Amino acid sequence: MVRGIKVQKIKLKKDPHRTHSSTQWLRRQLVDPYALKAKKEGLRCRASYKIMEIDAKFNIFKNGQNVMDLGAAPGGWSEYVIQKNKTGKVIAIDLLEIEPIKGVLFQQGDFTDPKMQDWLTENIGQADVIMSDIAPNTSGVQSADHLRLMAILDEIIQFTDLHLKVGGILVAKTFRGGTSQNLLEQLKQKFKTVKHFKPESSRKDSVEMFVVCMGKK
Ligand SMILES: C[S@@+](CC[C@H](N)C(=O)[O-])C[C@H]1O[C@@H](n2cnc3c(N)ncnc32)[C@H](O)[C@@H]1O
């Protein structure tokens, strides 16, 4: 239940050009209270509520910070952060293009491409916050998907070693069951506190979770 949002049953018209997976996606959106709320409130996507909840719980964003948004499309997280951060810089990348967001510097590209990592650091320098909602395309095989996300997370950790300020914060998408033991141990050595968090707005049937690491040593 999301306050003020009434979910109605809607029957989808048949469309021979629509794939099975996009029909499933559409069906979910139509009955998803957070997707409906985002539409009603003029936000880009339901993902905005996840970063709002993470921020409400951990008090992350402040004016004047340099923030990197990895896996930013369609732009809900950046849109939220730039409103709280009028004097800092927000820089974002994604494999997909986004509608421009005033005040956010965006580049389309792959985070794992060293040229993209150079572009990020050349344009913002050291970050106060690095946030990643990167979700590699899923194959349906949970163990394989988990490994791909862990490989990205590993790369993000190496990147934060070099480009996150001392005292800085890392927020990254991971899977339920937590970050792999090895990555978790690495994070605990590098940050003062490491917590897992599942926002209310993250679908209950999704294995998604977030790891919030505060106070880079
Ligand atoms: C859940 S969406 C992000 C939603 C975003 N936080 C928002 O608020 O709009 C995940 C994104 O990760 C992006 N992605 C996946 N792999 C990536 C990679 N290697 N480099 C950059 N972006 C990537 C996808 O294109 C997708 O747009």
Burial class (CB in 10 A: 0-12, 13-18, 19+), 3: exposed
Task: Render pLDDT for 61-93 as a digit per residue (tens, 0 to 9).
Answer: 999 999 999 999 999 999 999 999 989 999 999
pTM: 0.89
Q: In this model, does residue 1 exceed pLDDT 80?
A: no
Condensed to tens digits (0 to 9), the pLDDT of residues 129-157 reads 999 999 888 777 878 888 889 999 999 99
Asked if pLDDT for residue 11 goes beyond 70, the answer is: no
State what percent of residues in the chain have pLDDT above 90: 67
How far is it, in rounded angstroms, from Cα 136 to Cα 154?
Answer: 14
For the cut 90, the answer to whether the pLDDT of residue 53 exceeds it is yes
For residue 96, the CA-to-ligand 1 centroid distance in Å is 8
pLDDT band of 29, cuts 50, 70, 90: low
The pocket around ligand 1, CB under 6 angstroms, is made up of: 44-45, 47-48, 71-77, 93-96, 110-112, 133-136
In the chain, the domains with their CATH numbers are 11-42 (no CATH), 47-216 (3.40.50.150)
Q: In sequence order, what are the residues at sequence separation of 6 or more whose Cβ sits closer than 8 angstroms to the Cβ of residue 182?
A: none
* 186 alpha carbon – ligand 1 mean position (Å): 24
Report which of residues 104 and 15 the model is more confident about.
104
* Residue positions annotated with a catalytic role: 173
Pocket test for ligand 1, best of 133, 175, 208 (most atoms within 8 A of CB): 133
